[in-house]
Structure 1
Amino acid sequence: MSIYQHYRADEKPFIDQIFESIHFVKDTYSFKLTDFLDPRQQEIVTQLASYDGQVVVFLDGGIENAERQRAIISPPYFEPESDDFGLAFFEVDYADKFFTIEHRQLLGALMNLGIIRDKFGDILINDKTVQFIVAKEVSGFVQLNLQAVGKATVALRKLNSEELIKINEEWKIQSGTVSSLRLDAVVSEMFHISRAKSAAYIQKGMVKVNWKVVEQPNYECCKLDTISVRGFGRGKLVSIDGQTKKEKWRIQYGKK
């Protein structure tokens, strides 16, 4: 029985990458550090390590309950220290009397530096305070080259982890049933729109799963997928709890 049958076809490259890391750890008796992973990827890494049985996984995103975290895959006897996760922390200094910086603006500015999304962790915004977490190996480049966000001129000030603001972003958990785990069915339930509108939004490129645009209404959703719809916000498929007698799927999902 192939391990791949338990996952979506588009997850195979990531699974292969993690298997390579697991083999590296077992061959070298050292640890392997990943880039930042979304919640679904964190679930996959943990499952694959458990399936292998000879390695363990540690996760850290710099703050408690971080959404995006780096993973250390290691032998069971290894105990990582915080520095092993390669995290750097910045606060954005800008003229906050004249400008407002939003999450999407900062993420867009960071991506425009030519660095892949996987090198960036959570973005923390509380009133006028704007901070973000980044992989240490690219932190120097980011600090040198990020000079503007939107119309605001910015400078970056390096922080230690104790200076990060505490964001209390709790998911509001709801329960529901769906006829299938297709993306259009899950979006319809999660955002309380018709199945037809859900399919139309997906086909127009307005829906992202784990921060990637998905345009296929029949795309199969999995536990811990993060789903966003332009204009409607973001949700997470927290759990899939089996089927009812009428063969509908029971799901729990969170919304912010």
Structure 2
Amino acid sequence: MKLDKESYIAHIEDREQIINMRQVLDKVEIVLKNHSIQHTDFLDPYERRLARSILNGFTEISYRELGGVSQAERKIISIYPSYYYHDDIGIPITALKVKGISSKLSHRDFLGSILGLGINRDKIGDILIHENYAQIIVKSEISSFILISLKKVGNVNVSTEEIRLEDLRLGKIDYKEIFAIISSLRLDTLVSGAWHLS
């Protein structure tokens, strides 16, 4: 079955997102033709919203989003024929635990070390930073490579092991509380109050 992909993405203006949604439609085409299961790479919330707007137009397929934890920012979408059961789908993501870390290591350090291995960002989900360790959600297809190759984060020696998805915990959330007196609840006044702009 050949889809008229342009009609599904006509409303999208961002060039990069058009390419991403064409890839989603390629997966839909495979599901419809082969009655198989397809998984996207990790998508951010905006990309998932675009993908849902496309996927909801097909009655013959179902989909589900997986990110390791329910509050995950980056998730994959599993696309499958509507007559499949959830148990038939499988889980194409793996959780890794990185130990031996320093409290000075940040999300950027972990992401940089993984990307430095030559891995595409789309294969990596959320990175959950904890006091003495970090948890990283990745596509299962690259998990063994990371287990073997990730030996340093920043200048700190680390060890990596696979863990169950059920063992994932939300990481620490860095935020700064700001108090400001603003003249109205308009967005521009909220932003200027938060960044101390006049």
Measured against the shorter chain, the TM-score band is 0.7 to 0.9
Q: Give a deviation string over 1:40-76, Cα, whole Å, max 9, x none.
A: 1111111101123322220011112111111111111
In the TM superposition, what are the counterparts of 1:1-256 in structure 2 within 5 Å?
A: 2-10=7-15, 11-81=17-87, 84-94=90-100, 96=102, 100-167=104-171, 176-177=186-187, 192=195
In structure 1, what residue type is equivalent to 2:53?
Q
- Report if the CA contact (8 A) 1:71-1:85 is conserved: no
The structure richer in strand per residue is 1
Judged with a 3 Å threshold, the aligned counterparts in structure 2 of structure 1 residues 47 and 168 are, in CA distance, closer, same or farther, namely farther
CA contact (8 A) 1:90 1:158 kept: yes
SS at match of 1:114: coil
Describe the SS at the equivalent of 1:52.
coil
Task: State TM-score, norm by structure 1.
Answer: 0.63
RMSD: 3.0
In structure 1, C-alpha distance between the alignment counterparts of 2:71 and 2:153, rounded to whole Å: 26
117-126 or 86-95: bigger deviation = 86-95
1:33: Cα distance to partner?
A: 0.9
> SS of 2:90's equivalent?
helix
Verify the 8 A CA contact 1:101 1:130 in the aligned structure 2. Answer: no
Give the TM-score, by structure 2 length: 0.80
* CA shift in 2, pair 1:95/1:35, >3 Å: closer
Distance 1:64 1:95, change over 3 A: closer
Percentage of matched positions with identical amino acids: 26
DSSP-derived class of the 1:110 partner = helix
Distance across 1 between alignment mates of 2:131 and 2:82: 42
Who is 1:228 aligned against?
A: none
SS of the counterpart of 1:84?
Answer: coil
Segments of structure 1 that go 5 or more residues without pairing to the other structure are: 179-187, 195-256
Residues 169 and 57 (structure 1), Cα distance of their counterparts in 2 relative to 1, 3 Å cut: farther
Letter in 1 for 2:148: L
SS of structure 2 residue aligned to 1:51: coil
AA matched with 1:73: I
Contact preservation (8 Å) 1:70, 1:85: no
Query: Which amino acid in 2 is paired with 1:109?
Result: S
Greater RCO (CA < 8 Å, at least 6 residues apart): 2
Name stretches of at least 5 consecutive residues in structure 2 with no aligned partner.
1-5, 178-184
For this pair of structures, how many residues does the alignment match? 183
CA drift at 1:162: 2.1
Distance 1:47 1:114, change over 3 A: same
CA distance in 2, matches of 1:93, 1:83: 31
Query: Displacement of 1:91 after TM fit?
Result: 1.2
Structure 1 pair 190–7 and aligned structure 2 pair: CA distance change class (3 A) = farther
> Per-residue deviation at 1:95?
5.4
Deviation at 1:128, TM superposition (A): 2.5
